Amino acid sequence: MQLEKLLSLFGMARKAGRVSLGFDQAEAAIRSGKARAVFCSADVSDRVKRSLERRCGDWNVPFVPLPTDMFALSGAVGQKTGVVAVNDGGFAARALQLSAVTQ
């Protein structure tokens, strides 16, 4: 239930233009200081997870691996992706709150 709310929140943030989708865009958002939180699906590669986790740690951005697959995450945002960087403080705060309940 909470995971569905989280995925729905990602869809709303996407429609509002407040997300960066995919590894390259998420990494650019982290480096530019736009990213407020980064989420990744359970089935992205370990290399991607390690790289994002390290980059987020360097820039003090919360990194959250999600207990869902890329198919569900992609369906929520309307584009094939395994990584979502939320660039808005309000959306990020709610997403972090929902992800804490989900895990």
pLDDT in tens, 5-24: 999 999 999 999 999 999 99
Q: Compute the distance between CA of residue 37 and CA of residue 18 in angstroms, rounded to an integer.
A: 11
CATH code for the domain of 30:
3.30.1330.30
- Number of structural domains (the chain) is 1
Residue 83 β-bridge partners: 40
pTM of the model: 0.93
- Domain residues for the domain of 70 are 2-102
Q: Compute the distance between CA of residue 74 and CA of residue 30 in angstroms, rounded to an integer.
A: 20
Write down the pLDDT at residue 103.
Answer: 60
